[in-house]
Each structure stands twice: as structure tokens, then as C-alpha cells.
Amino acid sequence: MIVEVERPKAGVDYPGTWPSFEAWFPDDDACRAFLARVRWPDGFVCPRCAGIDAWVTGRGLWMCQTCGRQTSVTAGTIFHRSRYPLRTWFAAMWFVCAQKNGVSALGLQQAFGFGSYETAWAWLHKLRRAMVRPDRELLGGDGVSVEIDQTFLGARRKAISRRYENKHEVVIGVERQHPKGFGRIRLAHIDSSDRKEELFGFVQHNLAHGSIMYTDGEPIYADIANKLQITHEPIVLVRSPDPAHVVLPGVHLVASLLQRWIAGTLHDGVSDRHLAYYLDEFTFRFNRRASRSRGLLWYRLVQQAVNTDPHPLAALQHKM
């Protein structure tokens, strides 16, 4: 039996507009109460003993009646030990979701008056880590076509003779929809020195069984398809009468949009160290491009934020 999950409703589960947001969250107490409902939709669960009976102290902490542990609703989330009010976090997340193409750290700093660029940078990177659900569905499925190809990001220095040296290789997966259009995408930054294994891992962890994989004629994909028993439709571009962007339109569209987004929103300020998280943000936005409700995007981000580790600044700066 298929159980339908009720879709969250604006005005009931989350604010649908900015004026509604301001009415829902006049202060931090309202934000904490909302966050508690999102974090524990079926009621409080103690992180130590799994007890379900608790009361709220005068400091806003949840006191477990079984073991006596006091728990903050923000503990273990991206909001953990933040010096800023929770309402500022909520407003910043709304701002990030309301901007169709996202926002740079400088833009966030200026919008919220943060004392340092570093604060805005850290907030955005914390949010990017909340933009990917570990249990998200794989691409494709029975009879669904998925295009796979690579693109390269970054400018090549004049002193470098090899075409793709000093560039970041990114593999792209795009669902095809019939009769036309594209569905969800996946992106990954891969190590070009070990690209065979990394491409294998990408296909293995992102394509569902029964998918039809469309690629160019590169032999590596035939090997991957054989090992994973995936139906493979290679397109040898040198033999095709059509150009690459016609026979593999999905990956070329996504590659073009990705490059424009990095240049326009991030001003090409993407380091190799953090590229994977920028790709996660682009994926989050692209896969929700048809959503008419910015409030729903905000709500989904809050849901994922309470299930994402804190990621302190030191860890963000030294993440390799």
C-alpha cells in the first residue's frame, strides 16, 4: 500500500510570504518553538536516553524527565552555539532562498550588517551543507534516461599549455523527461588523476537500477555500465551529424547555467577546497527551480538544517 505524505502548506506549516514571516516570528521564543516542531515533529526525544517526556525550563531548554538532561533545540544543528539570534538565522535563510540565483557572502554581509565577511561566509557554507539530504532519491529509474558528461570550471592561465590544466573537472548527471525537458541533476567535483574510479563512484551512487545512461563515446562509460549492469547508449560525437549540445542537451545546458551562476553570483570566487559545496547549492536550486513558493524552499532548508552537524568555523576553513 502506498502511503501519501501530506505536502506542507503555506500559512499552516510555514510562512508563505515575507509579511507572514514577520508575523510568525516576532522574537526568538517564537523561532525556538517553531524549530522544536520541525526537529521533533512527533514530540520531543531525548538525545541521551530517547525519553519522550520533558518540560521546558525558564531558559528555554528541554529537561528530560527520565534522565534529567537539558537539551537546547539548536544543539547539534547548524545553529549550535551561535552568538546571533535565531530570528536573524531564519531571516538570512529566507533571504538566501528568496534570491533565485542565490547570494554571495559579501551580499549577505551587507544585507544583514555582519561585522565581518568571515561571518557571512561561514553562514553560507553551513547552509550549503544543509542543502543535501543523505537519503535523497537516486536519478533515473525504470526506463528513465540520464545523461552523464563532464565539464571544466575555472580559467586556464596563459603559461599553461595543456587545455584543462588548472581547471576543475565536474561530472554532471541530468534526467531526461519525455516528451521534452529535464528533471533532477547531480554534480560532483572529481579528481582528474583518478577519474575512472571517481566516475564509477558517481554513477554507482547516483543512478538507480533500470536507468538508461546516455554518454559520449568515451570507453570508460562502457566499462562502468558493464560493471554496474546499466543500459548504456553511447553517442559517438565524431560520427554524429549533430553537435554535442544537440545529442546531449541536458548536460550542456546545466554546464552553461553552472558557469554563469559561478561567474554572476559568486564572481568566480570558488576555491578547489570548497567547490563540492558550491555544487551542492547549485543542485539544490536547480532541482527546485519549478517551485513557486520561496517559503516552501525556506521550510525545506530549515528541516535539513536541524539534521546537519554544526560545522564550526575552524572546520569549515580547513575542510579539504
CA distances from 16 to 24, 27, 101, 258, 276 (A): 10, 18, 19, 28, 30
What CATH architecture does domain 145-288 belong to? Answer: 2-Layer Sandwich (3.30)
Segment holding 76, helix H or strand E: none
CA distances from 263 to 102, 253, 318 (A): 12, 16, 24
List the one residue out of 249, 244, 87, 277 whose CA is nearest residue 168. 277
- Give the separation between CA 92 and CA 109, rounded to whole angstroms: 10
Low-confidence ranges of the chain (pLDDT < 50): 1-4, 157-161, 320
Name the segment(s) of the chain with CATH classification 3.30.420.10.
Answer: 145-288
List the one residue out of 296, 283, 56, 41 whose CA is nearest residue 184. 283
pTM of the prediction? 0.89
pLDDT at res. 320? 42
Neighbour tally for 275: CB within 10 Å: 18
Peptide bond into 179 cis (omega under 30): yes
- Give the separation between CA 103 and CA 110, rounded to whole angstroms: 11
pLDDT at res. 270? 78
Segment holding 303, helix H or strand E: helix 294-305
In three-state secondary structure terms, 146 is strand
pLDDT at res. 146? 98
pLDDT at res. 1? 38
What number of CA atoms fall less than 13 Å from residue 266's CA on the CB side?
22
Contact 224, 199 (CB under 8 A): yes
pLDDT at res. 159? 46
User: Scanning the structure block, which residue is given the C-alpha cell 554572476?
Assistant: 264
User: For residue 235, what are the β-bridge partners?
Assistant: 216
